[in-house]
Amino acid sequence: MTEERFTAALAALSRPSGGSESLTEPILGIIPVTGASVSTIGELLGMESVEASDAIIRRIDELQFDMSEGPCWDAVERGEPILEPDFRHRPRGMWPRFSEGVRVHDVGALFAVPVSLGTLRVGAIDLYHRDPIELDDEAIRRLLIFGGVIGRRVLRRALESTPDAADEVSGGGRHSRYRIHQAAGFVIAQLGVTADDALLLLQARAFSTGSSMEEIAEQILEKRLTFSVTGAVIEDRT
């Protein structure tokens, strides 16, 4: 039954929803914690709390952004789960300012996993529980899968306000389409993503910089722009 619920949760997160469906409710239906949030970190999508299930997890996100430290930062930097099963009594992380801010809240355990697209990490899922709690290997595996599915949803949400961006791949001249797909091939090689995800990343970069996809494609093909796995965008203007 649990596996069926997990499959249903993945299906809910994978559906095109026009931005109306929750990102955190499917997670909380599977992972036994009190609250969850989804945030973006890095140059591609900026730093933002995309969704938080309650006021405490929203405050946890705010503290991490303000202090530039905490489990979400480590999850993005390391590309692995950050587990604090007894944060209240036996914290493992070295986050002095963040930890001091969280202690005033009813937080017994903290967890974070990367939100990713292939090897590109664009944010994190943060979770907390009121009491100390251990997550088993299966729960962690499911969280990592959630992170991959949510990575695509977050990118698509960012592009919803610019529907014309998607038309640039199929529209325009033959040369323009060829250059965009050629640049997508570079991104596939850099990050190990699918062709569809590579095009999604080109759209996201074009959206965030106010550029056309053809302009972004030329920057990539001229090796003036690359993506790092931590979500940073590296530009070489020399």
- Residue range of the domain that includes 59: 2-159
Domain at 183, CATH number: 1.10.10.10
Clarify whether residues 97 and 195 are in a common domain: no
Do 201 and 84 reside in the same domain of the chain? no
Number of H helices, E strands in the chain: 10, 7
Tell whether 35 and 134 lie within a shared domain.
yes
Count of structural domains, the chain: 2
User: Looking at residue 118, which CATH number applies to its domain?
Assistant: 3.30.450.40
pLDDT given at position 109 = 97
Whether 48 and 119 map to the same domain: the answer is yes
Residue 201: C-alpha distances to residues 63, 69, 90, 141, 231 (Å): 28, 26, 39, 25, 11
The maximal CA–CA distance of the chain, rounded, in angstroms, is: 62
Residues in contact with 236: Cβ distance below 8 Å, sequence separation at least 6, in sequence order = 223, 224, 225
Tens place of pLDDT per residue across the chain (238 aa): 578 999 999 998 987 655 458 999 999 999 999 999 999 998 777 889 999 999 999 999 999 999 999 999 999 999 999 999 999 998 888 899 999 999 999 899 999 999 998 778 889 999 999 999 999 999 999 999 999 999 988 888 777 655 555 555 545 556 678 888 888 888 888 887 788 888 888 888 887 788 888 899 999 999 888 877 665 555 554 3
114 shares a domain with 194: no
Task: Kindly report the pTM of this predicted structure.
Answer: 0.79
Among residues 207, 202, 231, which one has the least CA distance to residue 219?
202
Q: What is the pLDDT of residue 94?
A: 87
Q: Do 199 and 214 reside in the same domain of the chain? A: yes
**Residue-level pLDDT at 162:** 53
Q: What's residue 138's pLDDT?
A: 96
